[in-house]
Structure 1
């Protein structure tokens, strides 16, 4: 996915006006493991959305920049601006947000 913070910044810039969802996780996080398969299903279903999974322990600087305080955290972005941040493994809320921003990005 990302090899450095620079790669992250470049990928966001390249995304342009595409909807981007950053999924902040940790390998030791139980709720992250629980919702992970749901996120993968969403990524397959909404192929126009760019999904990026970011390990908070590996990319602390990105996590700090996005003000991540607990995992999982989902940051919805477009044109390099944050639209919404969801905290927690609530798949219903995640799907609602995906549907909302996906319909707005068409």
Structure 2
């Protein structure tokens, strides 16, 4: 099941609940065509991978959270685990960095775009 996240407090609670399990967060918008194509894929994955936490953030309803998470384009998928170092990936460039505070310190993977195969492959790899 995909949890709907509306604000930073809900986001922190979601990540805390995930603990050391993989948490996959989709940043999207109801008006975005590629996002609409990914909604059923993302939901199906949440049913298939019961040991992974899935959440959706609508960037139009939660602009502060989108900014905090450095969302520049949608759809963007971020994957979190408490015990991992931070590694950010995008289609354009790769950046390796470590955040010293906040929930971004748990981010282990990020990619942008409506690539269902990549999403599932990376989810399987990081579980």
TM (norm. structure 1) is 0.89
- Alignment match, 1:71: 74
- Alignment match, 2:113: 88
Q: 4+ residue stretches of structure 1 with deviation over 6 A?
A: none
Give runs of aligned pairs for residues 22-101 of structure 1, distance below 5 A: 22-79=25-82, 80=103, 81-101=106-126
Aligned length: 102
Per the TM alignment, residue 3 of structure 1 is displaced from its structure 2 partner at its CA by 4.3
Cα distance in structure 2, aligned partners of 1:70 and 1:3: 18
Task: Using the TM superposition, name which of 7-16 and 25-34 deviates more.
Answer: 7-16
Maintained 8 Å contact 2:7/2:65: no
Report the aligned-residue RMSD: 1.2
Per the TM alignment, residue 14 of structure 1 is displaced from its structure 2 partner at its CA by 2.3
Partner secondary structure for residue 43 of structure 1: helix
Q: Which runs of 5+ in 1 are unaligned?
A: none
Richer in helix (by share): 1
Q: Which runs of 5+ in 2 are unaligned?
A: 83-102
Report which structure shows greater RCO (CA 8 Å, sep ≥6): 1
Cα distance in structure 2, aligned partners of 1:30 and 1:93: 18
Cα distance in structure 2, aligned partners of 1:3 and 1:72: 16
Q: Deviation per CA, 1:49-76, whole angstroms, max 9, x where unpaired?
A: 1000100011111111111111110000
Maintained 8 Å contact 2:6/2:57: no
